[in-house]
Structure 1
């Protein structure tokens, strides 16, 4: 059965061919396995927006990837038709992540790569929506604890030991993992593809952790002057790449080929247990959320360079669409709560949605999650074998309930 999801590639636009050409002469190309520059359809010989092997759709193809680590049951829930499609099982999954098109099911023995088969290409003034057959793209050797970050040309995989490797997107799109290129040294953070470069945090022996910018050959091309003690968590925004640090956040931005680093401090000493360690946000938004310990939430406005701490009570999961939308917090009462970020006041609340009382979720563990796109939020109820669709602009109204034939313990939204 065909399964479709979409991908929103914020960095693709009109530069995708240039990015792929750059990769062809990069670190991956040195192994002799990169596609030659110019390979693929010519823009003069094919219609604008043509993608070989894919069909263009009239609307976005939103999907949820779902997994039950115990049974291995894995589904793709089509949010347009409401149908759940079965794919091959993967047991022992500790974390399910996505870059918008590909799902990454992390296990102790490696990471399964699942191509959802649908995506969005954003050209700035217009977009194209595509769909193709879903398929497995193989396994990446890095297992539990690996951090996967992507752009239009490369997928960077950083292992728990800090070593990183690059995989070419055009190989993954063909259904193959391909041969990776190993980057030099070790990293204190995930390696994040950004602005046709690779951004990471690294620490030389006896020195503080600082940002490093590499080209896709792995060569260091810039070292913005800023430190980031005890880095945890990262996110890509329209303003740049954000890393969580002991004293706040570090923002790495690019302008006309140059890279700068800027600290966004908390403004006060924050105990380690209350620091932001994992960011959640709507793709394309500059408003980031993170747990601030057990009973509060951090909201980082990257545009305004400000942190806001919202007291909420026991936090299980958090997210927001940003841009004036409510802060969404799943609390230990099993209900979803909405807060006004500016005032910190609760403005809406659902009835109890979760079948079992949820425990507090920690990074990398199974549990309820909140996924957010431009108009809806999604909350998984593992014990109830269901997923809720929430209209967060209408008092947290439950718009739809999707009943499933498996426990959706892990959930990630694709195609945003």
Structure 2
């Protein structure tokens, strides 16, 4: 298959060469080296020391085989897979858009994927730098890590959270951390230069609390979230999964509010939305609704839609009028119109081995979505597929690998 967006990639290279001659250069693998000098006399808007700025998203896939520990970073611009340190026994692989988190029984290993974006609302900056191992932080299986541009919040199984400065990780070292007082239910989520958390009030209710960056409680919106599971950050605010739907927490001019988005009826516990997936920057979330349907939450419209699909392995969507993409047990990807629930497209069987339903997020085939493509890993086939979801789920590229990519996340978003 040909490399996608060749013309755009060439334009990006020219842009980087002209605009960033003083900020650094790239080695033969496309990884940015340290800048030869300090920032130019007139620092350009968006300047990041040691990184190259590009005109398009610099997507990369982090891939891991937990059994052997083999780990690769697949650069989707060049099509080249980079070998990095082995991470054996990984139980879960997560990301915040730049850093990859390899959760193991011995702690969580942090890898700088070397690609990220900075969203300024009316425009976006895309960056790439070299891939490097940051080190290990405490917290094994069950640890939840959420980050923004400034900090990463690491919450262990007991609800105890520690806050790390991402500027230290960007320098290639773990650095010191600061404990957040108290125990929390679910992940602590950095948002709007604050930290959002859920705490048990001691009266049988779980409530939202807001901390400043120093760990001082500054707000507590009047809202409860029974049996919280799952969270996602969108442009509209932070979505928290609750027993009766979702809680949307928003910030405006320094004030925090919480709004319930109810299912609109009784939903059995096994069919609740608890594992949200979406395209970064999108306000449309997906989550399995049991084994044979998918929930779609439109945060903008405050509505839930339950799409009947048949056996679900993984699901995701780019939102904003795009199809719902569902991997089913027939080894194929299927596209559904979210508004009508109509089945509109399907691929041929892509997976080498028939998957079990409900494996998304815990190893096995998963669907990652960015601004123009979706990605599906085929562990048994040592392969990753690139899908054009705007062209009837057409297979745009296929990447053969020398490992079984059982775990996959996308960075550069």
TM over 0.5: yes
Equivalent in the alignment of 2:43:
46
Residues 1:279 and 2:279 are matched in the alignment: no
CA distance in 1, matches of 2:92, 2:336: 28
Residues 1:139 and 2:142 are matched in the alignment: no
CA distance in 1, matches of 2:272, 2:78: 40
User: What do you get for the CA RMSD once the two structures are aligned?
Assistant: 1.4
Equivalent in the alignment of 2:323:
326
Contact in 2 for aligned 1:361/1:367 (Cα 8 Å): no
Equivalent in the alignment of 2:15:
none
Number of matched residues?
376
Any residues of structure 2 matched to 1:59-138 within 5 Å, and which? 59-138=56-135
Question: Partner of 1:56: helix, strand, or coil?
Answer: strand
Question: Partner of 2:358: helix, strand, or coil?
Answer: coil
Contact in 2 for aligned 1:279/1:290 (Cα 8 Å): yes
Any residues of structure 2 matched to 1:244-283 within 5 Å, and which? 244-283=241-280
Of 305, 323, 326, 1:308 maps to: 305
Q: What is the Cα deviation at residue 360 of structure 1?
A: 1.8
CA distance in 1, matches of 2:213, 2:360: 29
Q: What is the Cα deviation at residue 200 of structure 1?
A: 1.1
Equivalent in the alignment of 2:407:
410
Contact in 1 for aligned 2:60/2:115 (Cα 8 Å): no
Equivalent in the alignment of 1:382:
379
Residues 1:176 and 2:183 are matched in the alignment: no
Q: What is the Cα deviation at residue 44 of structure 1?
A: 7.4
Q: What is the Cα deviation at residue 43 of structure 1?
A: 9.7
CA distance in 2, matches of 1:291, 1:270: 13
Residues 1:195 and 2:187 are matched in the alignment: no
Q: What is the Cα deviation at residue 133 of structure 1?
A: 1.6
Please list the CA deviations of residues 92-148 of structure 1 after superposition, one character each: whole Å capped at 9, or x if unmatched.
001111111100011111111000122222333433332222111111111111111
CA distance in 2, matches of 1:120, 1:363: 25
CA distance in 1, matches of 2:324, 2:153: 30
Question: Partner of 1:82: helix, strand, or coil?
Answer: coil
Equivalent in the alignment of 1:5:
none
What stretches of structure 1 move > 4 A for 4+ residues in a row? 41-45
Contact in 1 for aligned 2:99/2:111 (Cα 8 Å): yes
Any residues of structure 2 matched to 1:17-36 within 5 Å, and which? none
Q: What is the Cα deviation at residue 207 of structure 1?
A: 3.2
Of 148, 151, 155, 1:151 maps to: 148
Please list the CA deviations of residues 251-302 of structure 1 after superposition, one character each: whole Å capped at 9, or x if unmatched.
0001100000000000111110000111000000000000001111100000
CA distance in 2, matches of 1:411, 1:358: 15
Equivalent in the alignment of 1:344:
341
CA distance in 1, matches of 2:325, 2:350: 14
Contact in 1 for aligned 2:126/2:412 (Cα 8 Å): no
Contact in 1 for aligned 2:331/2:355 (Cα 8 Å): yes
Runs of 5+ in structure 2 lacking a partner?
1-37
Please list the CA deviations of residues 12-68 of structure 1 after superposition, one character each: whole Å capped at 9, or x if unmatched.
xxxxxxxxxxxxxxxxxxxxxxxxxxxxx8897533322222223343211100000
Which TM-score applies when normalising by structure 1? 0.88
Which TM-score applies when normalising by structure 2? 0.89
Contact in 2 for aligned 1:361/1:368 (Cα 8 Å): no
Q: What is the Cα deviation at residue 228 of structure 1?
A: 0.5
Runs of 5+ in structure 1 lacking a partner?
1-40
Contact in 2 for aligned 1:162/1:188 (Cα 8 Å): yes
CA distance in 1, matches of 2:46, 2:289: 43
CA distance in 1, matches of 2:43, 2:213: 29
CA distance in 1, matches of 2:183, 2:361: 21
